[in-house]
Amino acid sequence: MNLLTLTHNLLIKEFDGDPDIEITNIEIDSRKISTGGLFICLRGHNSDGHDFVREAIKNGAAAIVTEKLLSEIPQNVTLVKVPDSQRVLPILASNFYHNPSQKLQLIGVTGTNGKTTTVHMIDKILNDNEKRCGLIGTLGMKIGDYYEETINTTPDSLDMNRHFQKIIEDKGQYAVLEVSSHGLEMARVRGCDFKTVIFTNLSHDHLDFHPDIDSYKKSKELLFSQLGNASDAMSKTAVLNGDDEASDYYANRTAAQILTYGIERDAHIMAKNVVTTWEGTHFTVVTPWGSLPFYINTPGIYNVYNALAAISACLIENIPLDQIKNSLEAFQGVKGRFQNIWAGQKFRAVVDYAHNPNGLSAVLKTAREITAGRLICVMGSRGNRDRLKRPIMASIAATYSDVVIFTSDNSYAENLEQILTDMIKGLETNPNKPYEIVMNRKQAIRQALETAKDDDCIIITGRGHETKQVNGDCIELFSDEDVVREFLLSLR
């Protein structure tokens, strides 16, 4: 694409060099630039893209988007000076990939917990009903048989638009994506033309990034305030969890139509008569489009909320309730989300991603409700993250579990002993609760499994689907699921 065409709708720009050049690729990572590329200098929390201009040029950059004057730039490299690189990034990304979000029906899901399961439910229902859909989120980007790993829950604008374009090339009509508070604050979905946005719930998380819970709540407001604020766009819909008090806040900040779902308070889409077992959950769905009994293979009332959110989104797309029911009853869950690992043993072994207070509470409440024997929780807390939630989560684990084993969980550059000390403070409210500290995570998991008796449940939280563990300078391949399966096979 010609550089002048690529930048045509940037209001303020200043060229230094030839603007009439062809751009073959566009990147914010200097290592990924190839011949004919446009490198966009972004100022981040830990680094400044302007410091990597020379590397970008060495790798073949033909043009640089910059916020400041740069010296010693080769004559064959064009500079485009702009006031704010972060703000122009989504414009350039959309231009380069030919405005792909306008060619898709976009469904965004935000909230503290439940995003991943909800988007996978929606993706299955849509694809089962001849509405070809691509998915973008924590577990990657996929459309049909194509899969690509993602680094962030919500990719940056460049990757997002590239994924959209891939979905279009694969004849996709819809894209359903997880929208994180980080993604909203960092403008990763700016310019994305959402048709429907969904709010799951709000609770304590990411306070290492946001100053306080109110700032965290307001960051998600951006998704709703940007929806449907035009006369030709008021058919757009905000789907809100009516049982979460933050929904009233978001409802007052969008011009879109509102559809609510819930269990406890009156809502448009409701679940009643909820019964949870180890095999799954039964409930009745009551909607303006009819009522039906439902069954999902995933235990827990929190998964009923996820299902209600998915049902709401798909009713908006005119999919009949009985066809939604068929898809959800065939849904096998998401890797690392209350994943019951079964190899014929007489106890339960569950791997779950729960890494914040509300998520941990929901998972342990469910396990406690359906476990006849003891509940043994293996958990850690991440380094270089929100320290306030560590004692809170330890207290939750002690409240619902019979035994807690504290261990490592991606300590990064932080001292593991300090992380564990922060967690143990949470046991002051439950001083008689049995607990152990086993710093090696594999040993902690094996120890829990070795002590399991008939009808016990071992629940291993914090990492879920993840396959790498980072402790200090050590990065190792590590999967909780693999450790559990290896142990269970040794019992045969």
Q: What is the pLDDT of residue 210?
A: 43
Q: 339-490 belongs to which CATH class?
A: alpha beta
**Residue range 9-57, pLDDT digits in tens:** 999 999 999 999 999 999 999 999 999 999 999 987 778 999 999 999 9
Q: What is the pLDDT of residue 189?
A: 87
**Residue range 41-97, pLDDT digits in tens:** 998 777 899 999 999 999 999 999 999 989 889 999 999 999 999 999 999 999 999
- pLDDT > 70? residue 483: yes
Q: How confident is the model at residue 233 (pLDDT cuts 50, 70, 90)?
A: low
- pLDDT > 60? residue 208: no
Query: What is the rounded average pLDDT of the residues 303-313?
Result: 97
Where in the chain do CATH 3.40.1190.10 domains reside? 100-330
Q: How confident is the model at residue 471 (pLDDT cuts 50, 70, 90)?
A: confident
Give the CA distances from residue 43 to residues 67, 68, 96, 326, 407, in Å, rounded to whole numbers and listed in that order: 9, 11, 21, 48, 36
Q: What is the pLDDT of residue 211?
A: 55
Q: Are 216 and 210 in contact (CB under 8 A)?
A: yes
Amino acid at 134: G
Q: What is the pLDDT of residue 186?
A: 75
Closest to 17 (Cα-Cα) out of 43, 38, 46, 44: 38
Q: What is the pLDDT of residue 275?
A: 96
Where in the chain do CATH 3.40.1390.10 domains reside? 3-96
Q: What is the pLDDT of residue 410?
A: 87
Query: What is the rounded average pLDDT of the residues 197-226?
Result: 67
Q: What is the pLDDT of residue 213?
A: 62
- pLDDT > 60? residue 204: no
Q: What is the pLDDT of residue 44?
A: 79
Q: What is the pLDDT of residue 278?
A: 93
Q: What is the pLDDT of residue 221?
A: 66
- pLDDT > 70? residue 231: no
Query: What is the rounded average pLDDT of the residues 110-128?
Result: 94
Q: What is the pLDDT of residue 206?
A: 45
Residue 244 structure tokens: 């979460």
**Residue range 245-258, pLDDT digits in tens:** 999 998 988 888 99
What gap in Å lies between CA 216 and CA 358, rounded to an integer? Answer: 15
Q: What is the pLDDT of residue 172?
A: 96
**Residue range 342-374, pLDDT digits in tens:** 998 999 999 999 988 989 999 999 999 999 999
Closest to 465 (Cα-Cα) out of 226, 140, 222, 172: 140
What gap in Å lies between CA 449 and CA 70, rounded to an integer? Answer: 59
CATH topology of domain 100-330: UDP-N-acetylmuramoyl-L-alanine:D-glutamate ligase (3.40.1190)
What gap in Å lies between CA 380 and CA 390, rounded to an integer? Answer: 9
Q: What is the pLDDT of residue 220?
A: 64
CATH topology of domain 3-96: 3.40.1390
Q: Is 45 exposed, middle or buried (0-12, 13-18, 19+ CB in 10 A)?
A: exposed
Amino acid at 26: I
